[in-house]
C-alpha cells in the first residue's frame, strides 16, 4: 500500500511509528525488491574492495556494507566500500543512509563517475594503483521500468531520453571496468527496459574489450527469480518517429545524436560470442515489481587499449628534443607508462605503475576515432581538482603519541592491539570535539589520495568530548555509534547488565544506582564516575530474552547512572525486550515521544554539520524512503526520474 495510507490510517499508526524509528536507527531499509538484485549478484566477501559508482540515495550501498559485516564478531573487515555520486547534495543523503549502519569501512566521495580518479595505495612499501574486486555500476537511466508507480514517466518519456543517456552510461561502464581488478565482477544495472540503455551499452563494452570481459551466466545465483533473457536485435527510433535498424541508414545530420554503439552487433558469430542472452530483463508483471535490467561482467584480462604502446603528440616529441638539445627522443615502452602516469595524476609520480591493468585505471579508455585528430596521445595538461558544494573539514589522523591517547588509554584500559593509527578527527587546530575510526585499508586510501578525491564523509564516531569528564580522568566519553567497533578493545569501565537493568536504563531518565539489579549495582558502586559500557550477554538457556549481545554507552554519576543512546535506538532495544513503546498521538504520550527528557535531546543534538546537510536533503524524503527510487533529483546528473517508492 502507498506511503499516504500507512501515514494517515489510525489503524496503522503503530506500524508507521515502528517503520520510521527502526529505519532511522538502521535496522530496516525499505527498498524496491528488484533494486536489491545487483548487490546480491556481486557475491560480496568481507575482504572485497568495492566501488559503488552512482550510489545515492544509498540503499544498495547499505546492502554492500551489510555484506562486508557478515561476521559481526570482526569489528574491522579487510574490505571497504567507496560510494560515489556526482551530485553534492545527494551525497549527504547517501551519508545519512550509510551512517545508520555505523561502519568504519565506508567512504563517501563526490565525483563524476565517468571520470572518477584512479586512487593510489601503499603496498609493500611502494605505491600501487587501487583496483577494485567488485564494482556496482547502477547508472543513471530514463527510468521507464518504473512506470507502474512513477506517473512522471508517462508525461515526460520520449525516445530521445535513451539517446541522450547512452553515451554517459557507456563512459561510466568503461570507467568501471578500467578500475576493476582482473578476476573481479562488475554488475551493470538500470531501471529501464530500453535496449539502447541496456544491451547496446553491454555490447559496446564487450566489443571494446576484445575478449577481456565476459558476460557471466547468473541464472543460478537467484533461484526462483523470473526474468527474460537479453535481446540481440533492436531498432532505434527518433523523437519524430523515424526508425533506423543500422548505422548506415542514419543521415549525417543525426550523427551527433545517434552513434554506432547504439545499434545491435553485426554478424551471427559476433552476436553468439557476446552471449547477450545472459543479461536479465525483469518485467513488472513477472513478480509484481518494477522493471529492471541487470548484467554481470567478469574481467578476464586487462583492457586492450592499455596493452598498446601509445603514440606521442608531435609537440611533446619536439619539446623533448629541445630539452635534450638534439633529435626527438621517443621514450621506450618501459618509460612511457611512468611518464604518462606522472602527468595524468597532476604531477604526482607513480613509482610502480608498470602493469597494463594499472595503466588503464590511471588513463582510461581511448577516445573514439576522430575525437583526437590523428589519434595520438600524450600527457594532458595537469588540472587542479575542481571542488563543488560545501567545503568539507579535513580528515586528520592522530599519531600514536598524540596527547589525547594517554588519558583515554589509562581510563578505558585499551588493549595493546588497539589500532591508534586508525583514529581520526576533523580539525587541524584547537580542541578535538569528536574522534572517529576507519579500517586500516581506508586509512591507506585517505592518506594517499587527499589531493585526488573529494571525500564527503568516512569513519564511525567512537568518542565525543565531554568537558565534565576531565575531572574524572578522561575528557572523552564513549559514543553509541561506534560502540560495537570499539568495545572489543575496551578492557575496563564495563558493567555487565541483565534484561531488567536495560529496561530501567532505557525507560527512566536518570535512575539511581539502587534501581539496578544486585550484580550490576555492585559493579557500578566499585567504579568511579565517568563514561561506561553497559553490556548484556545473551543467555541461551532463556529463549524469552534477546539472543544477541547488546552494548550501550552510559554515564556513571555520583548516585545515578544513565544511558547515552539516541531515541530511535532506545525504542529499538525496548521493542526487543518486549516493552510497549507505542505513543498515542493524543495526550502526554506524544509529548514525551517528541520531546523526551532533556538529556535525550542533548545526546541527539551533538550532530556534525554533515548530518545537518543530510537533514536538509532529507526534508523532502520521509524517513526511511531513501529507497533506490527515492531520488528527488536526477541520479549522476542525468534525467533519471526515479520517484519515492
Residues designated catalytic: 191
Region for 11 from its dihedrals, namely left if φ exceeds 0, alpha if ψ lies in -120 to 50, beta otherwise: alpha
Q: Which residue has the cell 601509445?
A: 310
Question: Do the Cβ atoms of 456 and 610 come closer than 8 Å?
Answer: yes
Residue 102's contacts (CB-CB under 8 Å, 6 or more residues apart) are 26, 460, 481, 482, 484, 485
Contact criterion met (CB below 8 Å) for 145 and 190: yes
DSSP state of 212: S
C-alpha cell at position 248: 548506415
Q: In angstroms, what CA-CA distances link 169 with 50, 108, 301?
A: 19, 21, 22
Which residues make Cβ contacts (< 8 Å) with residue 607, sequence separation at least 6?
Answer: none
Q: Which residues contact 134 (CB under 8 A, 6 or more apart)?
A: 42, 43, 44, 48, 49, 50, 51, 184, 185, 186
Task: Reduce the secondary structure of 591-636 to three states and give it as a string.
Answer: HHHHCCCHHHHHHHHCCCHHHHHHHHHHCCCCCCCCCCCCCCCCHH
Cα-based distances in Å from 21 to 549, 602, 640: 20, 18, 29
CA 534 remoteness from chain centre: 31
What is the spatial distance between Cα 602 and Cα 552, in angstroms, rounded to a whole number?
16
Q: How far is CA 584 from the centre of its chain?
A: 37
Amino acid at each position: 500500500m502507498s506511503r499516504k495510507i500507512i501515514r494517515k490510517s489510525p489503524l496503522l499508526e503503530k506500524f508507521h511509528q515502528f517503520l520510521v524509528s527502526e529505519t532511522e536507527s538502521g535496522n530496516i531499509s525499505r527498498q524496491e525488491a528488484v533494486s536489491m538484485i545487483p548487490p546480491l549478484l556481486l557475491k560480496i566477501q568481507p575482504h572485497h574492495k568495492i566501488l559503488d559508482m552512482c550510489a545515492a540515495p544509498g540503499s544498495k550501498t547499505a546492502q554492500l556494507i551489510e555484506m562486508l559485516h557478515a561476521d559481526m564478531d570482526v569489528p574491522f573487515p579487510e574490505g571497504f566500500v567507496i560510494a560515489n555520486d556526482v551530485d553534492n547534495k545527494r551525497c549527504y543523503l547517501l551519508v545519512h543512509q550509510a551512517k545508520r549502519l555505523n561502519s568504519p569501512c565506508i567512504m563517501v566521495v563526490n565525483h563524476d563517475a565517468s571520470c572518477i580518479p584512479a586512487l593510489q595505495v601503499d603496498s609493500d612499501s611502494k605505491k600501487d594503483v587501487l583496483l577494485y574486486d567488485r564494482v556496482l555500476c547502477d547508472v543513471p537511466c530514463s527510468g521507464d521500468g518504473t512506470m507502474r508507480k512513477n506517473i512522471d514517466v508517462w508525461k515526460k518519456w520520449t525516445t530521445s531520453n535513451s539517446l541522450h543517456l547512452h553515451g554517459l552510461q557507456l563512459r561510466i561502464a568503461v570507467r568501471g571496468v578500467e578500475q576493476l581488478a582482473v578476476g573481479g565482477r562488475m554488475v551493470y544495472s538500470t531501471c529501464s527496459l530500453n535496449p539502447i540503455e541496456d544491451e547496446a551499452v553491454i555490447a559496446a563494452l564487450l566489443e571494446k574489450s576484445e575478449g577481456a570481459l565476459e558476460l557471466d551466466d547468473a541464472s543460478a545465483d537467484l533461484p526462483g527469480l523470473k526474468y527474460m533473457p537479453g535481446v540481440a536485435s533492436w531498432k532505434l527510433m527518433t523523437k519524430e518517429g523515424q526508425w533506423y535498424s543500422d548505422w548506415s541508414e542514419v543521415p549525417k545530420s543525426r550523427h551527433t545524436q545517434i552513434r554506432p554503439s547504439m545499434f545491435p552487433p553485426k554478424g551471427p558469430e559476433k552476436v553468439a560470442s557476446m552471449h547477450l542472452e545472459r543479461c536479465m530483463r525483469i518485467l513488472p508483471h513477472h513478480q509484481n515489481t518494477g522493471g529492471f535490467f541487470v548484467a554481470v561482467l567478469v574481467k578476464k584480462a586487462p583492457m586492450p587499449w592499455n596493452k598498446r604502446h601509445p603514440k606521442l603528440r608531435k609537440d611533446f616529441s619536439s619539446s623533448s628534443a629541445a630539452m635534450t638539445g638534439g633529435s626527438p627522443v621517443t621514450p621506450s615502452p618501459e618509460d612511457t607508462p611512468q611518464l604518462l602516469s606522472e602527468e595524468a595524476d597532476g604531477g604526482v609520480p607513480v613509482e610502480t605503475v608498470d602493469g597494463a591493468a594499472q595503466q588503464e585505471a590511471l588513463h582510461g579508455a581511448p577516445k573514439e576515432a576522430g575525437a583526437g585528430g590523428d589519434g595520438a596521445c600524450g600527457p594532458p595538461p595537469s588540472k587542479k581538482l575542481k571542488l563543488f558544494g560545501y567545503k568539507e573539514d579535513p580528515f586528520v589522523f592522530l599519531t600514536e603519541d598524540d596527547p589525547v591517547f594517554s588519558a583515554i588509554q589509562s581510563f578505558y584500559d585499551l588493549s595493546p592491539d588497539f589500532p591508534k593509527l586508525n583514529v581520526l578527527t576533523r580539525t587541524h587546530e584547537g580542541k578535538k570535539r569528536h574522534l572517529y575510526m576507519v579500517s586500516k585499508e581506508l586509512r591507506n586510501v585517505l592518506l594517499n589520495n587527499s589531493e585526488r578525491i573529494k571525500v564527503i564523509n568516512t569513519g564511525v564516531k567512537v568518542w565525543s568530548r565531554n568537558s565534565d569528564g576531565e575531572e574524572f580522568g578522561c575528557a572523552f566519553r564513549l559514543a553509541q555509534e561506534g560502540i560495537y567497533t570499539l568495545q572489543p578493545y575496551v578492557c575496563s569501565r564495563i558493567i555487565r547488565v541483565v534484561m531488567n537493568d536495560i529496561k530501567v536504563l532505557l525507560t527512566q531518565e536518570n535512575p539511581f544506582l539502587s534501581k539496578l539489579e544486585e550484580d550490576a549495582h555492585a559493579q557500578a558502586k566499585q567504579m568511579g564516575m565517568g563514561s561506561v559500557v553497559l553490556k548484556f550477554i545473551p543467555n541461551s538457556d532463556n529463549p524469552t530474552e534477546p539472543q544477541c549481545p547488546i552494548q550501550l554507552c552510559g554515564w556513571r554519576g555520583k548516585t545515578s547512572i544513565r544511558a547515552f543512546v539516541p531515541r530511535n535506538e532506545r525504542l529499538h532495544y525496548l521493542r526487543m525486550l518486549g516493552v510497549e513503546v507505542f505513543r498515542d498521538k493524543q495526550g502526554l504520550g506524544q509529548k514525551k515521544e517528541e520531546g523526551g527528557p532533556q538529556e535525550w535531546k542533548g545526546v541527539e543534538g551533538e550532530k556534525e554539520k554533515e548530518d545537518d546537510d543530510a537533514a536538509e536533503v532529507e526534508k523532502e524524503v520521509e524517513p526511511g524512503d531513501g529507497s533506490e527510487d527515492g531520488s528527488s533529483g536526477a541520479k549522476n546528473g542525468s534525467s533519471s526520474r526515479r520517484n519515492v517508492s
